[in-house]
């Protein structure tokens, strides 16, 4: 083995003695989707590294195929943040095969994250103006407070079940907990703290930085929620229809009136009967807005809204058009609020 030049050898020895061991490299961090990448970037802000995003803009986590560069990123990762197999189904086996050395953190199981069960596609028929429907629970230790936040509209327990043609499910079962947890800023704060703990374990030298950033982010998320609640108060009662049931955390947090879902399962388009039922609901409920997502073609929503006095509005749960970085999450929630706020200009 070649000898180091004298000056390099002395510098290496001093570094070893100063830190009690070799200098630890900055951790390689991978986040599955843009909202998680944004939260991780905020928690890592001011550190020696930044997270890498797995899913490119425009891709849906419901049906993504890993590229060779993605596989390489997972193989190199020290920490991986994902929601869990309920959302990124495509990641379950690759994480086991490729990310053997990584600390994999499923944020759907993080302490303090409050979960809502998926709703039946016809949930609005039994809801009180559609305000918040579903049972919520969390993974924290304060189970006495698990019935929701102070400013969240509360609803009755409503579990999803096997759908039949009469229920508009087209034979698809959509059960279990809804994984779109990041759309509640309180959940985002809990996820930030979980990220800080995982990062501290991988990079103890920056543990204080991660913890401080997580607490700062929690304060920012709380202020963001209060601001959005004030902005959306005038449109809370306006009936809205969403493309697929990805928004109930946002709905519950801000008490919105979503009365229907066009596509119960993103993997399986609705049939003619389902579209006819939604078209009738849009007309009969005088729906102010039908929300579409950039990850899916808008044709189904346009067909469902044909002939109705309603607006078709982009509502992106992933923030594909928002620049990545430490401000991504804040801008994502503000963009969603702006889309919903625009319903006040209809009718």
User: How many separate domains does the chain show?
Assistant: 2
> Helices (H) and strands (E) in the chain — how many of each?
10, 10
Contacts of 3 (CB under 8 A, 6+ apart): 9
Same domain as 196, residue 90: yes
Same domain as 318, residue 173: yes
Take residue 243 and report the two structure tokens written for it: 């493309």
Structural domain of residue 252, as residue ranges? Answer: 114-179+235-345
Same domain as 99, residue 145: no
How far apart CA 137 and CA 146 sit, in angstroms, is 5
Q: Per-residue confidence at 135, pLDDT binned at 50, 70, 90?
A: low
292 within domain boundaries = yes
Same domain as 119, residue 107: no
pLDDT in tens, 201-215: 999 999 999 999 999
Q: Is the pLDDT of residue 266 over 90?
A: no
Q: Report the CATH number at residue 255.
A: 3.40.50.1980
Same domain as 152, residue 39: no
- Residue position matching structure tokens 């290496």: 12
Q: What pLDDT was estimated at residue 293?
A: 87
C-alpha closest to that of 189 among 223, 157, 156:
223
Same domain as 214, residue 83: yes
Same domain as 247, residue 102: no
Same domain as 78, residue 171: no
Cβ(73)–Cβ(52) below 8 Å = yes
How far apart CA 319 and CA 301 sit, in angstroms, is 19
Q: Is the pLDDT of residue 10 over 90?
A: no
323 within domain boundaries = yes
Q: Per-residue confidence at 103, pLDDT binned at 50, 70, 90?
A: very high
Cβ(134)–Cβ(147) below 8 Å = no
Same domain as 144, residue 241: yes
Same domain as 256, residue 290: yes
Contacts of 116 (CB under 8 A, 6+ apart): 134, 135, 136, 177, 178, 248, 249, 252
8 within domain boundaries = no
pLDDT in tens, 246-258: 899 999 999 999 9
Whether the full predicted model's pTM is greater than 0.85, yes or no, is: no
Q: What are phi and psi of 115, to 5 degrees?
A: -105, 145
Same domain as 193, residue 89: yes
């Amino acid at each position: 083995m070649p000898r180091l030049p004298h000056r390099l050898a002395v510098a290496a020895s001093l570094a070893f003695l100063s830190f009690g061991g070799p200098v630890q490299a900055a951790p390689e961090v991978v986040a599955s989707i843009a909202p998680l990448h944004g939260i991780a970037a905020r928690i890592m802000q001011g550190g020696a590294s930044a997270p890498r995003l797995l899913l490119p803009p425009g891709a849906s986590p419901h049906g993504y195929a890993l590229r060779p560069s993605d596989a390489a990123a997972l193989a190199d990762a020290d920490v991986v943040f994902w929601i869990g197999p309920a959302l990124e189904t495509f990641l379950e086996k690759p994480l086991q095969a490729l990310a053997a050395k990584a600390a994999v953190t499923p944020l759907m199981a993080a302490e303090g994250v409050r979960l809502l069960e998926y709703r039946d596609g016809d949930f609005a028929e039994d809801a009180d103006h559609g305000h918040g429907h579903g049972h919520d629970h969390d993974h924290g230790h304060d189970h006495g407070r698990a019935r929701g936040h102070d400013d969240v509209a509360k609803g009755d327990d409503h579990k999803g079940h096997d759908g039949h043609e009469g229920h508009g499910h087209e034979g698809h079962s959509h059960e279990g907990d809804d994984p779109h947890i990041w759309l509640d800023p309180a959940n985002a704060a809990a996820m930030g703290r979980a990220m800080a703990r995982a990062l501290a374990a991988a990079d103890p030298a920056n543990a204080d930085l991660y913890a401080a950033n997580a607490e700062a982010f929690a304060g920012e998320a709380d202020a963001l929620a209060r601001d959005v609640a004030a902005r959306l108060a005038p449109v809370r009662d306006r009936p809205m229809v969403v493309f697929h049931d990805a928004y109930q955390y946002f709905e519950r947090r801000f008490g919105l009136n979503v009365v229907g879902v066009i596509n119960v399962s993103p993997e399986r388009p609705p049939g003619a009967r389902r579209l006819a039922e939604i078209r009738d609901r849009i007309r009969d409920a005088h729906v102010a807005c039908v929300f579409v997502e950039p990850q899916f073609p808008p044709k189904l929503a346009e067909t469902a809204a044909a002939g109705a006095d309603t607006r078709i509005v982009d509502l992106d749960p992933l923030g594909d058009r928002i620049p990545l970085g430490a401000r991504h999450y804040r801008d994502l929630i503000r963009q969603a609020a702006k889309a919903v706020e625009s319903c006040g200009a209809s009718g």
